[in-house]
Structure 1
Amino acid sequence: MVDNIASTGPDTPAAGAGASPLLSVQDLRVSFRTPDGVVQAVRGVSFDVERGKTLAIVGESGSGKSVSTQTVVGLTRGAKVSGKALFEGRDLLTASKEELRRIRGAKIGMIFQDSQSSLHPYYRVGWQISEMIRAHNRKVSKAEARERSIELLRRVGIPKPDRRVDDFPHQFSGGMRQRAMIAMAMALDPVLLVADEPTTALDVTVQAQVLEVMADLQAEFGTALVLITHDLGVVADVADEVVVMYAGTVLERAPRRELFYHHHHPYTEGLLGSLPVETDMRRRLRPIAGSPPSLIRPPAGCPFHPRCPYAFDRCRTETPPPRQVDANENHQSACWLPLDAAGRDEARANIGTSTR
């Protein structure tokens, strides 16, 4: 899988280098009150999304990936939120409900994991797309919105869209429903598309088709994409930059090739080590030992230290800040291991020897 990573894309300068990012999330913190205590779902997350680029957010279930992006667009009711989420210079976290309604759909499109629950079962697919269009622009007639819906379904590869536009969601396959969700998300040509596990419930062939549709639309309209996933194979195919989350925090972020070939954090190493290797299908997969911590009572120090094979005393008491890796300003890791490759390898070897 890793050997198939293209050599172009993320290693080239970002479009509009030097300009401010389209979306800049800074020290985002999100918590929820529960009968058992306060869940610290997101704990100081920061990342940027450049115009026209793809940012992948990866991590195990419960790492805070979805909560982070849903909070940015105002979809986490009842949460205590702090930090900033600057979108085209406007802080979305302080925006009014009316402002967020105008931005969602028109400026920021959303694709959710479960297309069956995202599409209303009692309404035809084309009607739902049309209503979304007209909700943002009442000057568009029903006939015009219907024509736009047909064109969108055609663009995402739905066969015979002039007939399928009147079908109900249950008459679409899982892959076709996800395509319809992409069509709805792209209806108003948003500048940012947030896709939350858009291919999880699909088989491999359909997954590839859906990703291809998203890539084609992104190339055509220059849309930035935030892709939330736990599938590093998908990341290898589409991402420009990768953010690795764990226990509500960012442990590592880097350009795609840098992350796959020169990753620093032991958690990233564990994620990559758990992938099957096409050149050695007989190799045993290496799972990460243990389980993610409770976000009601997260551990002191590095959140990954209870599962980390290289943890030492400092990891258990001090939380490591994001630090620049190997003098690469685009690569940061929240880990106390040495930042240069030689020192890091030596430290890992010494720790491994001392624990045997």
Structure 2
Amino acid sequence: MALLEVRDLKVSFDTPDGAVRAVRGLSFDVEAGQTLAVVGESGSGKSVSTQTITGLTRGATVSGTAYFDGTDLITADQSTLRHLRGARIGMIFQDPLSSLHPHYRIGWQIVEMIRAHDSVISKKDARKRAAELLTLVGIPRATERIDDYPHQFSGGMRQRVMIAMAMALDPALLIADEPTTALDVTVQAQVLNVMRRLQQQFGTAIVLITHDLGVVAEMADEVVVMYAGTVMERAPRRDIFYRNHHPYTQGLLASLPTRSGERLTPIAGSPPSLISLPKGCPFASRCPHVFDKCRTEAPPLADIGPRHQSACWLPVQASEAIAS
């Protein structure tokens, strides 16, 4: 049994215009020490799916299962989820300023988080642990900077503080939601190195939510490609980059900058409304290889190779010819 097993996760929100089907039948596994990247455009359901399995989408209609080390997170009560979040499941959000309280010192916030899950530890020992964590994630003069406020840190340093907080109790699973989006390339590389080093040291599993395929190439073992709330393709990293099948995956890769300076190739059109989804494949209106069946029947997520699945009616041989 994998550390995290998600099966047929569905999440919807009621609105005056109708139900928004944000996640539609998501399934994946994450093994201990493995990094799973979840990629896709904004609004594809990446963040909603991980927020749901940690109990952070109140008011949503949820079905499916998400077993973390034998506990179903979907049916777990709030007390169980509060115990797991922070202690066994660490979380890093996209904007550290929205996660760090601006009126409290960095060290105080880390100490309070540690003591919330470990009532035995003293404030002195928790503060010592906080300083060790800040040093571990590469913050210089940690024993001095532990008493600084969030606004006194740069964006990259604040993100490192969030990593330190997330790793404070050596969680088995780390969920990182767009952890490098607001950072420049140099700082981004430093943050990814910190995450990778901590993973190697503690054997932590990582679910990495991102739209940056460069980050995926550097960090991921397995990749889930999402579009319009559902999985388009799921495969090991090398297959996604070199033996991909789905036209949406190919479109994402074609939009990457190249060293040769060629013009970027954007994906034409816009994603469909999650309130009134099309009858067939959700990508049909934007797909350059669409044919009649795509508009009338939604393709299932089917095996096309070892640990490789794709939701597309396009034959594998035809897809390989297009990709080449």
Q: Same fold (TM over 0.5)?
A: yes
2:282 to 298, 303, 310: 303
Query: Partner of 1:293: helix, strand, or coil?
Result: coil
Structure 1 residue 329: Cα displacement: 2.7
The CA distance in 1 between the partners of 2:264 and 2:230, in whole Å, is 26
Structure 1 residue 34: Cα displacement: 1.2
Q: Which amino acid aligns with 1:131?
A: E
1:317 to 287, 290, 296: 296
- Aligned pairs (5 A) from 1:237-276: 237-276=218-257
**Corresponding residue number in structure 2 for 1:332:** 309
Mean alpha-carbon deviation: is it higher for 194-203 or for 314-323?
Answer: 314-323
**Corresponding residue number in structure 2 for 1:277:** 258
1:82 to 63, 71, 96: 63
- Aligned pairs (5 A) from 1:99-248: 99-248=80-229
The CA distance in 2 between the partners of 1:329 and 1:322, in whole Å, is 14
1:30 to 11, 27, 36: 11
TM-score by length of 1: 0.89
1:289 aligns with 2:268: yes
Are the equivalent residues in 1 in contact too, given 2:66–2:72 (CA < 8 A)? Answer: yes
The CA distance in 2 between the partners of 1:345 and 1:134, in whole Å, is 54
The CA distance in 1 between the partners of 2:221 and 2:141, in whole Å, is 34
Please tell me the root mean square deviation across aligned C-alpha atoms, in Å: 1.0
2:44 to 59, 63, 66: 63
Residues 169-211 of structure 1, C-alpha deviations (whole Å, 9 max, x = no match): 0000000000000000000000000000000000000000000
Q: Which amino acid aligns with 2:288?
A: P
Query: Partner of 2:214: helix, strand, or coil?
Result: helix
Are the equivalent residues in 1 in contact too, given 2:134–2:161 (CA < 8 A)? Answer: yes
Mean alpha-carbon deviation: is it higher for 135-144 or for 188-197?
Answer: 135-144
Which ranges of structure 2 fall in alignment gaps of 5 or more residues? Answer: none
Query: Partner of 1:31: helix, strand, or coil?
Result: strand
The CA distance in 1 between the partners of 2:67 and 2:177, in whole Å, is 20
Structure 1 residue 35: Cα displacement: 1.8
Are the equivalent residues in 1 in contact too, given 2:254–2:266 (CA < 8 A)? Answer: yes
The CA distance in 2 between the partners of 1:197 and 1:35, in whole Å, is 30
Q: Which amino acid aligns with 2:49?
A: S
Residues 97-116 of structure 1, C-alpha deviations (whole Å, 9 max, x = no match): 00000000111000000001
The CA distance in 1 between the partners of 2:242 and 2:320, in whole Å, is 14
Structure 1 residue 138: Cα displacement: 1.0
Are the equivalent residues in 1 in contact too, given 2:272–2:282 (CA < 8 A)? Answer: yes
The CA distance in 1 between the partners of 2:320 and 2:34, in whole Å, is 32
Query: Partner of 1:332: helix, strand, or coil?
Result: strand
The CA distance in 2 between the partners of 1:188 and 1:287, in whole Å, is 42
Residues 50-107 of structure 1, C-alpha deviations (whole Å, 9 max, x = no match): 1100000000000000000000000001000000001112111000100000000111
Q: Which amino acid aligns with 2:246?
A: H
The CA distance in 1 between the partners of 2:269 and 2:293, in whole Å, is 20
**CA gap 1:37/1:150 in 2 versus in 1, 3 angstroms:** same
Runs of 4+ in 1 over 6 A off after TM superposition: none
The CA distance in 1 between the partners of 2:235 and 2:31, in whole Å, is 13
Task: Number of aligned residue pairs: give it.
Answer: 323
Q: Using the aligned pairs only, state the percent identity.
A: 70
Structure 1 residue 324: Cα displacement: 1.2
The CA distance in 1 between the partners of 2:319 and 2:240, in whole Å, is 15
The CA distance in 1 between the partners of 2:263 and 2:136, in whole Å, is 42
Which ranges of structure 1 fall in alignment gaps of 5 or more residues? Answer: 1-19, 350-356
**CA gap 1:345/1:191 in 2 versus in 1, 3 angstroms:** closer
Q: Which amino acid aligns with 1:313?
A: D
TM-score by length of 2: 0.98
Structure 1 residue 153: Cα displacement: 0.2
The CA distance in 2 between the partners of 1:226 and 1:121, in whole Å, is 27
